[in-house]
Each structure stands twice: as structure tokens, then as C-alpha cells.
Amino acid sequence: MTAKLLLFAGICLIGSSSAILMDLYFRLRRIGINTSNWILIDKVPREYLRCRKQHGWPAWPAYLMWPLLIAGAVLLILGAIRL
């Protein structure tokens, strides 16, 4: 893979992880839970998993967010190294 493709894939995966995080955040805000602090990436998935059964939400977005973020960071670093 070329370095530019690795960089692009890493950015896309990190962006997907961020989109999932914001979806979880907005779902929590709709039910009145405001988790706006500096540790947003850690607190939102835990709070979402705590409230999900009461509202019928699936668990997979909270679990998918982390592998996407890690894989995106790895690809981004590999792409930056290969430049």
C-alpha cells in the first residue's frame, strides 16, 4: 500500500470512530444525560452501555468505536512513517 492510501484509510477510520462517538453522545443528550467534559471519549461509551437496555439501543456501536480508533491510528502512523 502506498503511504497516501494508508494515511487516507487511517483518517477515514478515525473519522468513523468519531462519528460513532458523536452518535452515542447525541443519544445520551436526547434522554437528558450531559457528559460534556474533557474525558468524553472514555465516559460516553460507558454511560451509553449503562443506559442502552432501558432504551432498546444496540451495544455494538460502543464496542466498534474502539477498534476503529485503534486501527485508524495504526494506519495513520504507518502512513506517516512511510512518507
Please report, in tens digits, the pLDDT of each residue of the chain (83 residues total): 798 999 999 999 999 999 999 999 999 989 988 766 656 777 888 899 999 999 999 999 999 999 999 999 999 999 999 88
What are the residues whose beta carbons fall under 8 Å from the beta carbon of 12, sequence distance 6 or more?
72
What is the domain partition of the chain in residue ranges? 3-82
pLDDT of residue 1: 73
pLDDT of residue 38: 55
pLDDT of residue 37: 63
Alpha-carbon dihedral of residues 1, 78, 13, 18, nearest 10 degrees?
-160
Using CA atoms, how far apart are residues 80 and 43, in angstroms rounded to an integer? Answer: 30
